[in-house]
Chain A
């Protein structure tokens, strides 16, 4: 079993939809939880960073962490075509462990 599981998609939604991206993990030692966005042939860009259970909101993005269920989510409201990218969840103890990434396409 992988330490971090993420549905690879692909996921296609119409513009304006709410997008829900999810990851589960098995290692309770993970302390920090991150979401990265990666465009094709580019390095990952940090979107959200949390270290506790609960919700964290930044503009159209909301990150949710449930440590008891070992489950994290990223919600994108009012999705835009420019949000089309691969979204990677990542978790850290000493090193960063990535999910496999979910490819998202927002259709105009």
Chain B
């Protein structure tokens, strides 16, 4: 199946710093990428949807100035958590959807963010 690479897999940072998470589709072009957040023992919560070359669409309650999403190419989307605080600590997962046989949704391996 299609491969989605997400980096880093684990990051620890100090409060107030910014963290960038990358999501790449390795063997297909992703017309749409999604960013999710998952707390322990809970399901995935959609944060935002990004289409290549356009602004991301954020879900209600998600601060777009805090969670900056850039989808500059058909194979790369980035999520930047700006001025991170301990309450931003969570598991962040990206997914990518292509076209044709790759129209299904494939997930990255996730990034565990811990803000001290």
Contact partners of A42 in chain B: CB under 8 A:
109-110
Interface size class of chain B, counting residues whose CB lies under 8 Å from the partner chain: 20 to 34
B residues with a Cβ closer than 8 A to A are 1, 4, 6, 34, 41-44, 46, 49, 91, 93, 95, 104-110, 112
Interface SS, B side: strand
Contact partners of B107 in chain A: CB under 8 A:
36, 43-46
Q: What is the total number of residues of chain A having a CB less than 8 Å from a CB of chain B?
A: 20
A92 to B104 CA separation, bound complex (whole angstroms): 10
On whether the beta carbons of B43 and A101 are closer than 8 Å, the reply is: yes
Which residue from chain B places its CB closest to the CB of A100 in the assembled complex? B43
A100 to B38 CA separation, bound complex (whole angstroms): 11
Interface SS, A side: strand
Contact partners of A95 in chain B: CB under 8 A:
34, 46, 49
Contact partners of A101 in chain B: CB under 8 A:
42-43
On whether the beta carbons of B6 and A43 are closer than 8 Å, the reply is: yes
Chain A min CB distance to B44 (Å)? 5
On whether the beta carbons of B106 and A46 are closer than 8 Å, the reply is: yes
A residues with a Cβ closer than 8 A to B are 8, 34, 36, 41-46, 49, 88, 90, 92, 95-96, 98-101, 103
Chain B min CB distance to A92 (Å)? 8
On whether the beta carbons of A44 and B104 are closer than 8 Å, the reply is: no
On whether the beta carbons of A98 and B105 are closer than 8 Å, the reply is: no
